Amino acid sequence: MTEPCSDQAQAIRPIDRHSVHQICSGQVVLNLSTAVKELVENSIDAGATNIEIKLKESGAELVEVSDNGKGVEKGNFEGLTLKHHTSKLQEFSDLIHVETFGFRGEALSSLCALSDLSVVTCHESAKVGTRLVFDHDGRLTQKSPHPRQQGTTVTLQHLFSTLPVRHKEFQRNIKKEYAKMVQILQAYCIISTGVRITCTNQMGQGRRSPVLCTSGSHSLKDNIGAVFGPKQLQSLIP
């Protein structure tokens, strides 16, 4: 029989800010597919025409999304991963004019809380790229020059490692998580006309295996064929 909780444990007290951030971040990024979706959407919002997703161990060890978008300006480095920091709106009424996938400023902040996150970016106005490393609270801890063409690469290592129970569940169900992620990615491949999207996965020390690839066509029909193959395309109703 367990002992009753002490009066101190039963007292109503505020949760510390770090714990609140971790708990709420787990409600924004629910699984592997959400993490990949948020990064792909950021790339599309940045005007990318080429997006490359690299996974290790089906995403359990590493998720990396690279693009050739506009890149991040130097003045935005500090606020890039802070909670509710966004360039898309300043007040509630701005929502009516939002035309991007992301606008709340929660995705990168939440991913910081749930993984080891780093960014390599080169803005269209910059001569050299910059590597940025953030802590779990979204604060910039390291900044150094790094060779890169225009665009941004976001790397997540050990997703959900800061939430032990979630991490264990994630690893146990990694095949289901991976399959769900592929389905979500297929949908973005189809609707993202004019954007070349590729995804590869590396298991152990083996070679990278292609998961899917589109050519960057402006035709939905071409994208469907690239994702599902020409036979499936022929069976579509005109």
Q: In 57-190, at which residue ranges do the beta strands (DSSP E only) sit?
A: 62-67, 116-122, 129-134, 140-146, 151-157
Does 12 or 208 have the greater pLDDT score? Answer: 208
Mean pLDDT of the chain: 85
Residue count of the chain, please give it.
238
Report the alpha-carbon distance of residue 62 to residue 55 in Å, rounded. 6
Is residue 115 scored above 90 in pLDDT?
Answer: yes
Structure confidence at residue 103 as a pLDDT band (50, 70, 90): very low
Q: Are 141 and 135 in contact (CB under 8 A)?
A: yes
Q: How confident is the model at residue 30 (pLDDT cuts 50, 70, 90)?
A: confident
pLDDT band at 230 (very low <50, low <70, confident <90, very high): confident
pLDDT at 89 over 50: no
User: Is the model's pLDDT at 49 over the cut of 80?
Assistant: yes
CA 185 from centroid of its chain's CA atoms: 12
* Percentage of the chain exceeding pLDDT 70: 79
pLDDT of residue 25: 47
For 184-189, the CB contacts below 8 A with 24+ separation are: 184/33, 184/36, 184/37, 185/33, 185/36, 185/37, 185/40, 185/53, 185/211, 185/212, 186/212, 186/227, 186/228, 188/37, 188/40, 188/41, 188/44, 189/214, 189/223, 189/226, 189/227
Task: Reply yes or no on whether the pLDDT at 28 is more than 60.
Answer: no
Mean predicted confidence (pLDDT) in 173-197: 96
Q: Is the pLDDT of residue 106 over 60?
A: yes
Residue 18: predicted pLDDT: 61
Higher-pLDDT residue of 3, 237: 237
- For residue 16, give both structure tokens: 């510390």
Q: Where residue 144 falls among pLDDT bands split at 50, 70, 90? A: very high
Asked whether the predicted pLDDT for residue 84 surpasses 80, the reply is no
